[in-house]
Amino acid sequence: MSQRQQFAQIATYFETLTPQSVDHLKTFYSPTARFKDPFNEVEGIADIERIFKHMYVALDNPRFVITEQVVDGRQAFLTWEFRFRFKRFETRTEQVVLGTSHLVLNEHNLIDLHRDYWDAAEELYEKLPWVGSLMRWLKKRANA
């Protein structure tokens, strides 16, 4: 299977991810894979699975929509929308976080590096009921 085909399968996996299918991460990740996002930095499938499983505990109906794929050999950037609802806040409006994942495959076409890039302040904190007001005020002051 080519790297382009592998990345297409990875994109489909993330778009169809469920609490049950998190256990299938080992199909796509190397045992020593590294994962990093604005809140986590871990190594190994067990810790990566823990992060994705926690997503289903903390949020209602979380899901990824892959909007673009740029593949260059063993690496790719997947641009995505992460859609979810907060469980613990008054607002039940669907939230959308925009981001991108940099994925690097090893010689066995398994993900060895998964790095997510997204702006936690703009994409998350500003959407929280109380923190959001403060973040928008700080942003306005910094841009004045």
Classify residue 137: in a domain, yes or no: no
Question: Per the domain annotation, does 126 fall within a domain?
Answer: no
Domain residues for 73?
3-119
Q: What is the pLDDT along the chain (144 residues), one digit of tens a residue?
A: 889 999 999 999 999 999 999 999 999 999 999 999 998 999 999 999 999 999 999 899 999 999 999 999 999 999 999 999 888 766 678 889 999 999 999 999 999 999 999 887 655 555 555 555 554 555 455 565
Q: Tell me, what's the pLDDT at 135?
A: 47
Q: Decide if 39 is inside a domain.
A: yes
Amino acid at site 50? R
What one-letter code names the amino acid at 120?
A
Q: 0.75 cut: is pTM over it? A: yes
134 within a domain of the structure (yes/no)? no
Number of domains into which the chain is organized: 1
Cβ(19)–Cβ(56) below 8 Å: yes
Residue 142 counted as domain residue: no
**CATH number for the domain that contains residue 25:** 3.10.450.50
Contact 45, 26 (CB under 8 A): yes
In a domain, 28, yes or no: yes
Vertex 75 angle, CA 73 and 77, to 5°: 125
- Distance, in Å, from the CA atom of 125 to the CA atom of 89, rounded to the nearest integer, reads 13
- 110 in any annotated domain: yes
DSSP secondary structure letter of residue 44: S
